[in-house]
């Protein structure tokens, strides 16, 4: 609960991640005064189908919102901002949930961002070579909305497609639910729906891919009113939503952001003076925000559009107004680490030992690695164990959803040492993936000197140090660990009118906490491991070609 005598303005930030909903009460300096989280349901009815429920997510938003404002003078709450994963929410003409599954379960009305059911649809979309594809790195991802819409039309015509009245990106669903305003955020439409900030919708694209029905009703189902993130929506929070969320009716509600973009706003504008960072004397375009949760997203901005093959964008004003955004990404990172650790034979032993020590399994593994490394740097434990991390395809920069994971260097052991080293090799592989994305961005014209990390994985010191060592760049961590929520609160603060612009709010509300520098003495070792890393994918492609041949 806030204290002190100074009158303060508060904003509520709400972050809907893949695994949970988080809320925070944040003041105008970006300080978090209260935090709450609540897990959300996910269904995987078949391989590569991932679904959620918009009612379940809204209910979780209500729980966390009520928690963070407990005991607070509600008159001091001035704005509310949402961010969420870019999942597809489907509602009928009366705004009721529609099933996105063959079972007809209308509770499950969200196709999640990581759902890969629309493989055939995205192939056909990419075969059109339509000019909008230039603005998604040259290749549309199966994780974007157009292939998912086409899948619904081709597979659930009667139960879903013909009845649908509204297709929302999850961040826009939440702002609609709070205000009754169906306007979409420029962020979601530009990044996931092929909308152009300058030219609007391109009718020829939708007609060419077989979704002409969306054009004929003037795009009302997917959005024909578009607002910049942070703009105030309608008359603010409706009385009904205010009751649900435990917030005052009428407070400003902002046009929202995708979660990675909120993380970007929460970290990228911080004042870095006095930390010995190269980016202190450089423009903000030298900073790369890396938001690491279930997936990792690499957000780089530029004054002019930069076309990076295999990296999404360039998107104008989709994150920081007036700047172009390129978004590199790894579809699974936190989820991959969890998968490798939880699937290992020694996981029950790890869990028991971590619980006995009152630690998370990751804190336990990190200290176990410190024990077994002896005199050498911890990263050197993987000299003969290498991982290629694309267990769910490659989002960037290879943009190849057929790629699979690889591990080389396995032994006939399944003990805790073995698990810890496999975990380390997985963390390193994710950092090598980031290095590959940065190299692609730099060869296209970006110049990046500093990483700003946030998201759940940034709480893992090993993950952070490996990103510094393997990219050779310093990593800035924010003062507030929950920086994505600071980004959501920046939106609420802008909508309230307390700040004149997103830039002003993010500069005042994001703050540097800690800087982790790379261990340059280990560079030669990581350069060699990177060479092996690149060989892994080359070999994987060779194997595929051999198996395809006669
Ligand atoms: N304290 C921690 N130490 C290590 N890993 C963590 C910690 N907290 C969260 N994680 C990892 O971060 C990932 C989830 O991050 P989060 O930002 O909550 O995801 P999302 O936004 O996708 O729901 C998980 O894979 C989890 O294992
Ligand atoms: O595509 C994305 C952003 O454009 C994200 O990967 C997606 O929204 C999921 O985020 P998270 O890993 O934080 O749950």
Q: Using the 8-state DSSP alphabet, how is residue 281 labeled?
A: G
**Residue 121 structure tokens:** 């649809």
Q: pLDDT tens for residues 346-355? A: 999 999 999 9
pLDDT-derived band at 550 (thresholds 50, 70, 90) equals confident
Whether residue 71 is preceded by a cis peptide bond, meaning omega within 30 degrees of 0, is no
CATH number of 334-435: 1.20.58.2240
Q: Give the pLDDT of residue 122.
A: 98
pLDDT 10s digits, 256-271: 999 999 999 999 999 9
Structure tokens at 118: 């629309």
Ligand 1 closest atom vs CA 337: 25
CA distances to 13, 141, 181 from 191, rounded to whole Å, are 21, 11, 20
Tens-place pLDDT, residues 466-508: 999 999 999 999 999 999 999 999 999 999 999 999 999 999 9
Q: What is the pLDDT of residues 286-311, one digit of tens each?
A: 999 999 999 999 999 999 999 999 99
Q: Does the CB atom of residue 369 touch ligand 2 within 6 A?
A: no
Q: What is the pLDDT of residue 227?
A: 98
pLDDT confidence of 1, banded at 50, 70, 90?
very low
pLDDT of residue 8: 86
Beta strands in 28-147 (DSSP E): 32-39, 51-52, 77-84, 88-92, 110-111
Note the pLDDT of residue 126: 98
Nearest CA to 456 out of 323, 308, 297, 317 is that of 297
pLDDT higher than threshold 60 for residue 387 = yes
Q: Where in the chain is the domain with CATH 1.20.58.2240?
A: 334-435
Residue 252: closest CA among 190, 181, 189, 171: 181
Distance 455 CA to ligand 1 centre (A): 7
pLDDT average, residue stretch 322-340: 98
State residue 2 phi and psi, 5-degree precision. Answer: -65, 150
pLDDT score of 3: 45
Residue 192's Cβ-side half-sphere holds a number of Cα atoms within 13 Å equal to: 31
CATH 3.30.420.40 range(s) for the chain read: 10-253
- Measured from CB, residues less than 6 Å from any atom of ligand 1 are 17-20, 293-294, 334-335, 337-338, 360, 362, 455-457, 459-460
pLDDT value at residue 425: 99
Structure confidence at residue 217 (pLDDT): 80
Instruction: Please give the mean pLDDT across all residues of the chain.
Output: 97
ipTM of this predicted complex? 0.98
pLDDT at 5: 54
What pLDDT was estimated at residue 2? 41
Mutate which of 36, 457, 478 for ligand 1? The one with the most ligand atoms within 8 Å of its CB, which is 457
What SS3 state is found at 17?
coil
Nearest in space to 23 (alpha carbons), one of 448, 485, 443? 485
For 46-84, what is each residue's pLDDT tens digit?
999 999 999 999 999 999 999 999 999 999 999 999 999
Counting from 1 in the atom list of ligand 1, the atom nearest the Cα of 291 is 17
Fold type of domain 10-253 = Nucleotidyltransferase; domain 5 (3.30.420)
d(CA 240, CA 245) in angstroms, rounded, equals 9
Residue 7 clears pLDDT 80, i.e. is over it: no
pTM: 0.97
Q: Is the CB of 448 under 6 A from ligand 2?
A: no
Residue 545 banded pLDDT, cuts 50, 70, 90: very high
């Amino acid at each position: 609960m806030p204290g002190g005598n100074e009158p303060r303005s508060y904003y509520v930030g709400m972050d809907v991640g893949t695994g949970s909903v988080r809320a925070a009460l944040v003041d105008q300096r970006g300080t978090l005064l209260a935090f709450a989280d609540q897990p959300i349901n996910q269904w995987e009815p078949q391989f590569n189908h991932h679904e959620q429920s918009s009612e379940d997510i809204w209910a979780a938003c209500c729980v966390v919102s009520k928690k963070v404002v407990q005991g607070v003078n509600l008159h001091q709450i001035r704005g509310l901002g949402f961010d969420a994963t870019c999942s597809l929410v489907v509602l009928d003409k009366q705004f009721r949930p529609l099933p996105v599954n063959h079972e007809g379960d209308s509770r499950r009305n969200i196709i999640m961002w990581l759902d890969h059911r629309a493989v055939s649809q995205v192939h056909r979309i990419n075969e059109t070579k339509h000019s909008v594809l230039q603005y998604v790195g040259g290749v549309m991802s199966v994780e974007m909305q157009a292939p998912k819409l086409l899948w619904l039309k081709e597979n659930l015509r009667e139960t879903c497609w013909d009845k649908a009245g509204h297709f929302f990106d999850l961040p826009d669903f939440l702002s609609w639910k709070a205000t009754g305003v169906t306007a979409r955020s420029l962020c979601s439409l530009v990044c996931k729906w092929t909308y152009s900030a300058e030219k609007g919708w391109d009718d020829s694209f939708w007609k060419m891919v077989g979704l002409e029905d969306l054009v004929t009703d003037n795009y009302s189902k997917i959005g024909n009113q578009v607002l910049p993130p942070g703009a105030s929506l309608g008359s603010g929070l409706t009385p009904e939503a205010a009751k649900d969320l435990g917030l005052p009716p009428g407070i400003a509600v902002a046009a929202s952001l995708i979660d990675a973009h909120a993380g970007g706003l929460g970290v990228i504008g911080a004042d870095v003076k006095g930390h010995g960072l190269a980016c202190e004397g450089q423009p903000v375009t030298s900073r790369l925000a890396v938001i690491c949760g279930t997936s990792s997203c690499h957000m780089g901005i530029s004054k002019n559009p930069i076309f990076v093959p295999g990296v999404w964008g360039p998107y104008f004003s989709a994150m920081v107004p007036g700047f172009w955004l390129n978004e590199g990404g790894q579809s699974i990172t936190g989820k991959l680490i969890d998968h490798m650790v939880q699937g290992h034979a020694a996981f029950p032993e790890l869990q028991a030992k971590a619980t006995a020590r009152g630690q998370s399994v990751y804190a336990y593994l990190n200290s176990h690695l410190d024990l077994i490394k002896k005199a050498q740097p911890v990263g050197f434990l993987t000299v003969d164990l290498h991982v290629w991390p694309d267990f769910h395809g490659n989002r960037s920069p290879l943009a190849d959803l057929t790629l699979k994971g690889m591990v080389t260097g396995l032994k006939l052991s399944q003990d805790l040492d073995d698990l810890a080293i496999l975990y380390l090799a997985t963390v390193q592989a994710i950092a090598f993936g980031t290095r590959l994305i940065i190299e692609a961005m730099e060869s296209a014209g970006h110049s990046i000197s500093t990483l700003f990390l946030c998201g759940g994985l940034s709480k893992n010191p090993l993950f952070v140090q490996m990103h510094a060592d393997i990219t050779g760049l310093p990593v800035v961590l924010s003062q507030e660990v929950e920086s994505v929520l600071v980004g959501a609160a920046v939106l609420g603060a802008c909508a309230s009118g307390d700040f004149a612009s997103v830039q002003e709010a993010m500069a005042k509300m994001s703050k540097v906490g800690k800087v982790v520098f790379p261990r340059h003495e280990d560079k030669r070792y990581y350069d060699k491991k990177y060479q092996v890393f690149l060989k892994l994918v080359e070999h994987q492609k060779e194997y595929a070609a051999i198996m395809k041949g006669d």
